[in-house]
């Protein structure tokens, strides 16, 4: 195995695991997704960026299992680590995962809205329309949880337009 940069091959392996986590989640194979998230944690020993990515995957699995509090905890850890890594895209993704977890709780709707709004702004600045659309989608859910129907529809409409543009 050729080493690519300081953590290059680990980063490539983590990227493949992230994609597999998303695929397992989409297929409803949450045990397999959880195993891949744990494998990512094992790769992340000395890399803050890899640790944040692993925590983001852990958050997604917990959210899909219906454990919003565990999802918030994992996403909060991801965000703290992402900020230390000084990677705007990773910070945006961590904000997105935290917002997604928070809107699923009983009392985190405003925090979810705030975090999704910040994530959308980061992704817009980076030109990442797909993630910007995901952030707007989470904003729509958060608005909906607050019974703010007009804002929810506007956010969902923008999310749809961004998805179609991709």
Model pTM?
Answer: 0.91
Write the CA distances from 31 to 55, 56, 108, 130, integer angstroms: 16, 16, 26, 27
Is the pLDDT assigned to residue 3 strictly greater than 90? no
Alpha-carbon distance 66 to 21, whole Å? 16
Confidence of residue 6 (pLDDT cuts 50, 70, 90): low
**51 token code pair:** 């640790």
pLDDT in tens, 69-108: 999 999 999 999 999 999 999 999 999 999 999 999 988 8
Q: What is the 3-state secondary structure (H, E, C) of the chain?
A: CCCCCCCHHHHHHHHHHHHHHHHHHHHCCHHHHHHHHHHHHHHCCCCHHHHHHHHHHHHHHHHHCCCHHHHHHHHHHHHHHHHHHCCHHHHHHHHHHHHHHHHCCCCCHHHHHHHHHHHHHHHHHHCCHHHHHHHHHHHHHHHHHCCCHHHHHHHHHHHHHHHHHC
Residue that is written with structure tokens 């659309």 in the block:
133
């Amino acid at each position: 195995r050729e080493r690519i940069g300081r953590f290059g091959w680990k980063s490539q392996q983590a990227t493949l695991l992230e994609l597999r986590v998303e695929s397992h989640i989409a297929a409803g194979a949450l045990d397999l997704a959880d195993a891949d998230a744990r494998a990512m944690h094992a790769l992340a020993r000395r890399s803050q960026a890899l640790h944040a990515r692993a925590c983001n995957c852990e958050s997604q699995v917990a959210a899909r299992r219906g454990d919003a509090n565990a999802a918030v905890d994992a996403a909060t850890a991801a965000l703290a680590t992402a900020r230390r890594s000084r990677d705007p895209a990773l910070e945006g993704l961590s904000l997105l995962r935290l917002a997604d977890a928070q809107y699923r709780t009983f009392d985190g709707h405003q925090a979810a809205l705030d975090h999704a709004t910040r994530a959308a702004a980061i992704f817009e600045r980076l030109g990442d329309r797909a993630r910007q659309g995901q952030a707007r989608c989470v904003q729509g859910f958060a608005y909906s949880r607050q019974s703010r129907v007009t804002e929810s529809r506007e956010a969902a409409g923008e999310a749809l337009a961004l998805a179609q543009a991709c």
